[in-house]
Chains A and B, each alone.
Chain A
Amino acid sequence: MSTLAGERNMWRIYSLEAKYELFKMMRLPMYAIPTLAFPLMFYLLFGVAMGGRSAGPVSVAAYLLATYGAFGIMGVALFGFGVGVAVERGQGWMLFKRATPMPTPAYFAGKLAMVLLFGMVLTAALFTLGATAGKVQMPAGQWAALAGILIAGAVPFGAFGLAIGSWAGPNSAVAVVNLLYLPLSFASGMWFPIQALPRFFQALAPWLPSYHFSQLALGVMGADQGRFSWVESAAALAAFAAVSLVFARAGYRRDEGQTFG
């Protein structure tokens, strides 16, 4: 059956949605600068400056490349989805979009594509710093595996951001994201190696998705704590993503309750 809606070019819709989502965020200094600059700056301050020392089997520069990479990806995903969605909900833009014939998944796919691209840029920049200033040396396969794990991490944390963005108000979203992001990343050993943190954090860590993320990244170079296999950590992240999506859906439904019921 031929339909009007079926005449549309879905590929064009999805690609424009992703392209303009990327343009929108690139031009937003509030997003683009902190999410890219902070991880790079921290890595320079801590990773490169103390790079010569060793952290377990690898240099501090290599260790922190994995953990600040994970830290950076978390920020890109949490702010991209959390703040982006909260603001667009709060200002009525989402309401308008829902009145258009936009296929709903295109909105979320566009945001995911943007976050993945930002993640790739961040990863490339960090790796460049690590390989040059940090003198990190790894086989090509390990570089690739680390890049893959880091960028894939944008998915579960994007889902978490979506959950936050579906509940938080447009003005509180930045604060809410920061209040979750900074403690989570610190307690997971993304700033300083987890072994250097007090015992309390050692006990807490297995319950934090960010811990599993950073352990997966460290596992590439054999520098993880070894408390969980990569399958266990990956499963923990998958479960975290699933629970986040359930919360995001509930938030979206609640929105529709005020708007769609």
Chain B
Amino acid sequence: MTRNHPFEDDRPIAELRRAGKRYGAVTALDGVDFQVRPGEVVALLGPNGAGKTTAVQLLLGLLRPDSGTATLFGLDPRNAEARVRIGAMLQISKVPETLKVREHVDLISSYYPRPLPRSESLALAGLGGVEDRLFGKLSGGQKQRLLFALALCGNPDLLFLDEPTVGLDVEARRALWAVIQGKSREGRSVLLTTHYLEEADALADRIVLIRRGKIVAEGTPSEIKARAAGRKIRCHTSIPLADVAALPGVRNARRDGEITELLAVEAERVLRELMSRDRSLSGLEVRGADLEEAFLALTNSDDPKEVAA
């Protein structure tokens, strides 16, 4: 794993080892092992409260792990040598409103040894033409894009993007994706968190699914999608719930009053089986499983970490 070529080195540039973090009684992260390698775009995908932001903040040195370690470029994340190589976009409510866009970019750029020219940072974030506007006068989307510019402006090797497209319209989201893809082509690494499977799919070389502070699956987008693919089936049926749950390809069967609900990997096969066993089956609904359901399915699988074969 650790080759010693000076340039072709795939040692992790960001790494959590057995990292745990608790807030009072809540376990935000539970012994997570996680890495970002040079040139990789990794998506931490999970529902709200899964521990994505905690993982990012541990790697940024904003939180100290209760157990385990967090390192950046092999260093303590708070080390200036590590920090000059990263840029971060956090979920923060506000930045000082009485500074202009260009002033914000100039100030953050000054912290880095080799920042991008200001015009390039602004162009990448789609903020050309508003550089003299005060932050407080920007639209919601522009504010979000300024935070993106502040992450990019230091020309970092590793970008941390915590929910970067929340609140952006479709066009702005696509534009931001294109910039991330461009950075990836330049050989930069990106760690982004998202709760959109689509976003992870579009950008990531590797998706890490996280739920309730644990990594539940890890793999390329196609591996994850295959795993998460499935249909949600609802119907009224007299078949005992245990029998429904025991059908091949059925996950997460449950009954709520009259309604039986299940997640099926191969919906057609499961449906044929249900129909043949219960002629009086009624109220049938079939639809694509959403991400939350995919998570449920993945969480319930026996050996979640073996997705990446």
Tell me the A residues contacting B by CB distance below 8 Å.
3-5, 7-9, 12-13, 16-17, 20, 23-25, 27-28, 88, 91-93, 95-96, 98-103, 256, 259-261
Contacts and interface: CB of A to CB of B under 8 A. Distances in A.
Interface in B80-101: 80-81, 83-88, 90-96, 98-99
B63 A260 contact: yes
Contacts of A99: 60-62, 83, 86, 88, 90, 160
A105 to B, nearest CB: 12
A245 B103 CA distance: 30
B140 interface: no
Given A5-B81, A98-B62, A27 B107 contact: no
B83 A100 contact: yes
Given A7-B114, A20-B107, A96-B90, A27 B98 contact: yes
B96 A88 contact: yes
A99 B92 CA distance: 12
A86 to B, nearest CB: 13
A7 B61 CA distance: 22
Nearest to B85: A4
Nearest to B95: A93
B110 A16 contact: yes
B88 A100 contact: yes
Nearest to A94: B92
Nearest to B83: A101
**Which has the most chain A C-beta neighbours within 10 Å: B84, B94, B96?**
B96
B99 A95 contact: no
A4 B115 CA distance: 12
A96 B94 contact: no
**Which has the most chain A C-beta neighbours within 10 Å: B62, B94, B106, B110?**
B110
Given A20-B103, A91-B93, A9 B110 contact: yes
B177 interface: no
A7 B60 CA distance: 21
A100 B111 contact: yes
Contacts of A16: 106-107, 110
Nearest to B103: A20
A9 B107 CA distance: 12
A81 to B, nearest CB: 15
**Which has the most chain A C-beta neighbours within 10 Å: B93, B111, B114?**
B111
Contacts of B88: 96, 99-100
Contacts of A28: 98
Contact of A24 (B99, B113, B114): B99
Contacts of B113: 4-5, 7-8
A8 B111 CA distance: 7
Given A17-B107, A24-B98, A101-B112, A260 B90 contact: no
A105 B114 CA distance: 21
B80 A101 contact: yes
Contacts of A95: 62, 90, 92
A55 B111 CA distance: 52
B261 to A, nearest CB: 39
B92 to A, nearest CB: 3
Interface string B44-79: 000000000000010011111010000000000000
B154 interface: yes
Interface string B184-206: 00000000000000000000000
B172 interface: no
**Which has the most chain A C-beta neighbours within 10 Å: B66, B80, B93, B154?**
B80
8 contacts: A9-B110, A16-B107, A23-B103, A24-B99, A92-B90, A95-B90, A96-B92, A259-B62
B133 to A, nearest CB: 12
B219 to A, nearest CB: 29
B235 interface: no
Contacts of A93: 92, 94-96
Contact of A261 (B66, B91, B154): B66
Given A4-B81, A92-B93, A101 B154 contact: yes
Nearest to B136: A27
B61 A260 contact: yes
Contacts of A8: 84, 110-113
Nearest to A32: B98
B286 interface: no
Given A20-B106, A96-B88, A101-B83, 7 more contacts: A5-B80, A9-B110, A16-B107, A16-B110, A23-B99, A93-B92, A259-B62
B134 interface: yes
B270 interface: no
B108 interface: yes
A102 B94 contact: no
A223 B57 CA distance: 55
Contacts of B110: 8-9, 12-13, 16
Contacts of B99: 20, 23-24, 27
A4 B156 CA distance: 12
A92 B84 contact: no
Contacts of A98: 61-62
B103 A259 contact: no
A23 B98 contact: yes
